[in-house]
């Protein structure tokens, strides 16, 4: 089979794209990650050679990685979502309210996912129906969703320590296999599922086409608005799930849930090689990007550097990777 | 279906964008096995007409599109392509950062019965088509290559091969020779003859009468959104056609 393919290639004198063209971006992301890790292993060898710090990554990074991964799809279509932290909170509030009202965990759980998905779909509808840039409209919906949640909860949190909740808490954030947090496995699962959706379904193919050249895609019969609405709905679904995970991780639903995760998620997407102009991106890149962001946070502290330097480091890594992306993609265009 | 049933028929199709009327009461029919040239100056409404036939634009109230004798309601691009109309657009309609195989199957991806994309098959089909039909031997035509690395003619090749792959009943070529080299232009004109040989129909739009006249059976002249003339090739010589085109451009009327 492979021999046949080779001879065919030779007959056409067609060469596959070079290694750099195909994997340059991925290679770059992994290099940044490994380079960072080596720095930390040298500067904070005690912390970075014990397994505790990796267990800590596995429990804290998924809180934003679970949203960075679906956000990748939205960015590939050339849009952005800034409202997902608020969707996290509103969906988890739905769970808390329904659970305290009915005592039924799974009704609350499913209602939370439905509310998240609907919030996302609402974003997508506003973006596509009115043609408003998502950067602007999701700032608006962010305040709207957060406002509804705060008013509904009257600004107060809810403890999630009920014995009846132990089962679902264990499922979401329990520890398994040498103490690795379950949310790490959920993140792996999310990466696999969204990889499949992006690379092996027609919807995924249309995500790339929509972000690359909207008019061309429309001329060839791609319903670009439907594609965008669906990416926003997927985002909402995962935001709701991440909200439940983050709340069960601390056994408490804070009404401010999600604040502080926005920039981490967005940074992970761009660090992961997804183009800010749309049309190009990978969920595996975002996965690695998330863990690089997580490692910076922990590594700075473990290296004994003043924690105020975290953001300096953060900024440098992001700027360097985006420059690297620009250089690589320019070389691709020969 | 007999040969008297048009593949596509437009009845009283108008298209208004805000204050601008791009098409007004256009009546056109294309028969099976017929190559029709569509001529007209810039702004005559050729591209709008094509995009209306494809379902990209919706005709104004009262306009009707008939496909093989059936009135089509709720027309859209996906439906038009499914029924067998493919267009090679002037602007090529490619997504340039994507590899060739994605462009080749844009909007009509090959799936297995579970709805999973058959990427392997799309790549091998893309390779086969590029070498068999377009005779590409350049190093740039591996199916994994991004379209932006290709030359203008190769990009056009992707657009043409794409239209060919789906065995369309009607192929619309909107200024396909713009920016092409001589040999690439010849290849494109040969492609149009192949459409006719296989009993299918085509609408060929070009600025260049010298490309259109030898290739077509019939010519429709469009002027300011109206059909200004409709000639069988046997009824008019190239010189007469050029003469009447000038007259249309000057006076807006085909008659003396």
- Within an 8 Å CB–CB cutoff, is residue A4 touching chain B? no
B135 vs A177 pLDDT, higher one: A177
Q: How large a percentage of chain A has pLDDT more than 70? A: 92
pLDDT at A334: 47
A6 vs A107 pLDDT, higher one: A107
pLDDT at A1: 36
Q: CB–CB of B93 and A222 under 8 A?
A: no
Q: CB–CB of A12 and B136 under 8 A?
A: yes
Instruction: Please report residues of B whose CB lies closer than 8 A to that of A9.
Output: 127, 142
Question: Which stretches of B108-205 are DSSP H helices?
Answer: 119-132, 152-165, 182-197
Distance from CA of B91 to the nearest CA of A (A): 8
User: Residues A268, A271, A277, A279: is their CA dihedral positive or negative?
Assistant: negative
Query: How many CB atoms lie under 10 A from the CB of residue A333?
Result: 10
A66's CB contacts (< 8 A; 6+ apart) are A183, A186, A187, A190, A238, A241, A242, A245
Nearest to A221 among B78, B117, B139 (CB): B78
Angle at alpha carbon of residue B200, lines to B198 and B201, rounded to 5°: 140
| Encoded tokens for A284 | 């595996």
Nearest to B107 among A200, A213, A220 (CB): A220
| Confidence class for position B1, pLDDT limits 50, 70, 90 | very low
- Predicted complex ipTM: 0.86
Distance of CA A68 to the CA centre of its chain: 1
pLDDT at A241: 96
Q: Are B172 and B202 in contact (CB under 8 A)?
A: yes
Q: CB–CB of B106 and A11 under 8 A?
A: no
pLDDT at A120: 97
Query: Is residue B140's pLDDT more than 60?
Result: no
pLDDT at A199: 94
Instruction: Please report residues of A whose CB lies closer than 8 A to that of B92.
Output: 216
Instruction: Please report residues of B whose CB lies closer than 8 A to that of A333.
Output: 148-149
| Confidence class for position A15, pLDDT limits 50, 70, 90 | low
* Contacts A–B by Cβ distance under 8 A: 117
| Confidence class for position A266, pLDDT limits 50, 70, 90 | very high
Q: Are A241 and A92 in contact (CB under 8 A)?
A: no
| Confidence class for position A12, pLDDT limits 50, 70, 90 | very low
Which of B116, A274, B136 lies closest to B145, judged by CA?
B136
pLDDT at B188: 81
Query: Is residue B212's pLDDT more than 60?
Result: yes
Nearest to A212 among B80, B92, B98 (CB): B98
Mean pLDDT of B131-141: 63
Mean pLDDT of B19-24: 87
Q: CB–CB of B141 and A215 under 8 A?
A: no
- Within an 8 Å CB–CB cutoff, is residue A18 touching chain B? no
| DSSP SS3 for A203 | helix
Domains of chain B: 8-251 (3.40.50.300)
Query: Is residue B193's pLDDT more than 50?
Result: yes
A123 vs B142 pLDDT, higher one: A123
Nearest to A201 among B115, B144, B149 (CB): B115
Give tens-digit pLDDT for B109-134: 888 888 898 888 998 888 888 777 66
Mean pLDDT of B47-55: 90
Angle at alpha carbon of residue A207, lines to A201 and A210, rounded to 5°: 140
* Bridge partners for B36 per DSSP: B203, B218
Stated pTM of the model: 0.88
| Confidence class for position A213, pLDDT limits 50, 70, 90 | very high
Instruction: Please report residues of A whose CB lies closer than 8 A to that of B141.
Output: 12, 14
Distance from CA of A23 to the nearest CA of B (A): 12
Q: CB–CB of A334 and B139 under 8 A?
A: no
* Bridge partners for B146 per DSSP: B99
Domains of chain A: 31-332 (1.10.3470)
| DSSP SS3 for B239 | helix
Mean pLDDT of B181-203: 84
- Within an 8 Å CB–CB cutoff, is residue A209 touching chain B? yes
B204 vs B138 pLDDT, higher one: B204
pLDDT at A29: 77
Q: CB–CB of B54 and A219 under 8 A?
A: yes
Query: Is residue B242's pLDDT more than 90?
Result: no
Question: Which stretches of chain B are DSSP H helices?
Answer: 46-53, 77-83, 100-104, 119-132, 152-165, 182-197, 209-215, 238-251
What distance in Å separates the CA atoms of residue B153 and residue B137, rounded to the nearest whole number? 13
Nearest to B56 among A12, A17, A218 (CB): A218
Q: Which residue of A has its CA nearest to B124?
A: A5
pLDDT at A224: 95
| Confidence class for position B138, pLDDT limits 50, 70, 90 | low
Angle at alpha carbon of residue A11, lines to A8 and A17, rounded to 5°: 70
């Amino acid at each position: 089979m492979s021999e046949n393919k080779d001879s065919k290639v030779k007959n056409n004198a067609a060469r596959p794209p070079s290694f750099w063209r195909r994997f340059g971006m991925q290679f770059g992301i992994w290099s940044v990650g490994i380079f960072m890790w080596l720095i930390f292993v040298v500067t904070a060898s005690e912390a970075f050679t014990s397994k505790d710090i990796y267990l800590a990554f596995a429990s804290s990074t998924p809180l934003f990685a679970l949203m960075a991964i679906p956000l990748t799809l939205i960015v590939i279509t050339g849009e952005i979502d800034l409202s997902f932290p608020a969707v996290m909170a509103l969906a988890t509030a739905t769970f808390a309210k329904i659970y305290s009202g009915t005592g039924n965990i799974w009704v609350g759980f499913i209602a939370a996912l439905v509310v998240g998905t609907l919030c996302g779909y609402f974003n997508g509808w506003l973006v596509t129906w009115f043609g408003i840039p998502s950067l602007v409209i999701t700032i608006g919906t962010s305040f709207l969703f957060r406002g509804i949640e705060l008013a509904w909860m009257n600004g107060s949190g809810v403890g999630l320590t009920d014995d009846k909740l132990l089962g679902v808490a264990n499922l979401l954030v329990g520890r398994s296999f040498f103490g690795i947090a379950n949310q790490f496995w959920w993140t792996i699962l999310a990466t696999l599922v969204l990889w499949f959706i992006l690379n092996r379904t027609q919807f995924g193919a249309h995500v790339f086409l929509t972000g690359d050249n909207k008019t061309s895609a429309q001329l060839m019969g791609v319903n670009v608005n439907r594609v965008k609405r669906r990416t926003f709905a997927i985002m909402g679904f995962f935001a709701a799930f991440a909200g439940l995970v983050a709340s069960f991780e601390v056994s408490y639903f804070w009404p401010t849930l999600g604040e502080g995760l926005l920039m981490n998620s967005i940074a992970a997407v761009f660090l992961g090689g997804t183009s800010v102009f749309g049309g190009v991106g990978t969920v595996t890149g975002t996965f690695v990007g998330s863990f690089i962001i997580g490692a910076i946070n922990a590594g700075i502290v473990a290296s004994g550097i003043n924690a105020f330097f975290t953001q300096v480091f953060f900024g440098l890594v992001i700027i360097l990777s985006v420059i690297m992306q620009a250089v690589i993609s320019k070389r691709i265009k020969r | 279906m007999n040969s008297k049933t048009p593949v596509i028929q437009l009845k009283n199709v108008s298209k208004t964008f805000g204050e601008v009327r791009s098409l007004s009461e256009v009546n056109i029919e294309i028969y099976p096995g017929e190559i029709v040239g569509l001529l007209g100056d810039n702004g005559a409404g050729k591209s709008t007409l094509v995009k209306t036939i494809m379902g990209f634009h919706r005709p104004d109230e009262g306009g009707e599109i008939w496909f093989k004798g059936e009135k089509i309601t709720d027309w859209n691009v996906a439906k038009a392509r499914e029924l067998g109309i493919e267009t090679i657009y002037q602007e090529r309609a490619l997504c340039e950062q994507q590899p060739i195989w994605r462009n080749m199957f844009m909007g009509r991806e090959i799936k297995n019965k579970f709805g999973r994309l058959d990427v392997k098959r799309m790549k091998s089909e893309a390779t086969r088509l590029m070498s068999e039909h377009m005779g590409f031997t350049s190093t740039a035509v591996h199916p994994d290559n991004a379209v932006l690395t290709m030359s203008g003619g190769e990009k056009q090749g992707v657009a043409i091969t794409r239209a060919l792959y789906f065995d369309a009943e009607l192929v619309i070529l909107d200024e396909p020779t713009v920016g092409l080299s001589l040999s690439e232009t010849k290849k494109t004109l040969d492609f149009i003859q192949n459409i006719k040989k296989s009993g299918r129909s085509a609408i060929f739009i070009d600025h260049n009468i010298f490309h259109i006249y030898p290739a077509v059976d019939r010519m429709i002249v469009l002027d300011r959104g109206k059909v200004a003339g409709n000639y069988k090739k046997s009824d008019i010589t190239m010189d007469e056609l050029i003469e009447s085109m000038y007259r249309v451009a000057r006076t807006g009327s085909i008659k003396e």
